Structure 1
Amino acid sequence: MTPDIRISPRLIVPDPDRASAFYQDALGAEQVFRAPLIDDGRPSVVDHRVGASFFRVSPAVSSWGWRSPDDLGGSAILLEIEVDDPDAVGDRMTAHGAEVVVPIENRPYGKRSGRVRDPFGHLWIITGALR
């Protein structure tokens, strides 16, 4: 029997409040929890809900081993989101500062998808039905 497991990615960013505002504006994320501040005034974690999914943002703190994509020279993971309208989500993300890495187009594997880098260096695959 497999235990009930939920995986919630934690995105390490320089400024959790700025990142939280971006994800709320660009993805429609709802902020559901904000932890107390660490010594430098940044929250240690901000939890978000998007649809049925959850993710967190936390500050880069090198003494804790928490490093952002910029600290590492790039993102070590790809976050994939499946949406009804990949073009609209991609447009909204780029309007709020994300950069197109791979344009959103119909792909030979039967999906419409592309990739963006958010303003904090995290890579997102945006995918949905063919158009």
Structure 2
Amino acid sequence: MNIQLIPKLLVSDADAAITFYTQALEAQVNLRVADDRGVVNHAELALDSVAFALAQSVEEWGWNDPRSVGGSPVLIMLTVQNPDATADRMVQHGAELVIPVEDRPYGKRQGRVRDPFGHLWVIGGELRDQRPR
């Protein structure tokens, strides 16, 4: 048996989130399941070989999105080839830049973005300045 861990992001508007992630992160939708009222209770998306899921928040099920509980207690760490371009694209599609993408003293190029649904993403990649010190 293979172990698999797929985070499921709860959002206030699942269809808007699918649109955001496909445009801003170039994610591919692998599955979208809605109930008879059209509420998306499960969608699976892929970023290259990485998968994540999302669903509409449903208060009576205890499924609360970050904005409904005052923020996200989780940082989603995404390593990409060009973190600057990824963060910029997220912001162009409605995310908020929380911490600019910069070379960090701990050896990574990272920044933080809050998506339109309240989830916090640490966007990182290789250092821009690779010269020996």
Displacement, 1:38? 5.0
Aligned to 1:28: 26
Q: CA RMSD in A?
A: 1.0
1:73 equivalenced with 2:70 (yes/no): yes
- Given that 1:77 and 1:123 are in contact with CA atoms closer than 8 Å, whether structure 2 keeps it comes out as yes
Q: Cα gap change, 1:61/1:38 in structure 2, threshold over 3 Å: closer, same or farther?
A: farther
User: Which secondary structure does the structure 2 equivalent of 1:35 belong to?
Assistant: strand
Q: Distance in 1 between matches of 2:34 and 2:76?
A: 26
2:13 paired with 1:15: yes
TM-score (structure 2 length as normaliser): 0.93
For residues 17 and 35 of structure 2, the distance between their equivalents in structure 1, rounded to whole angstroms, comes to 15
Extract unaligned runs of 5+ from structure 2. 129-133
Q: 1:89 aligns with which of 69, 75, 86?
A: 86
**How far is 1:42 from its partner?**
1.5
Deviation at 1:90, TM superposition (A): 0.4
The count of aligned residue pairs is 128
Q: Which residue does the alignment assign to 2:131?
A: none
Aligned match of 1:4: 2
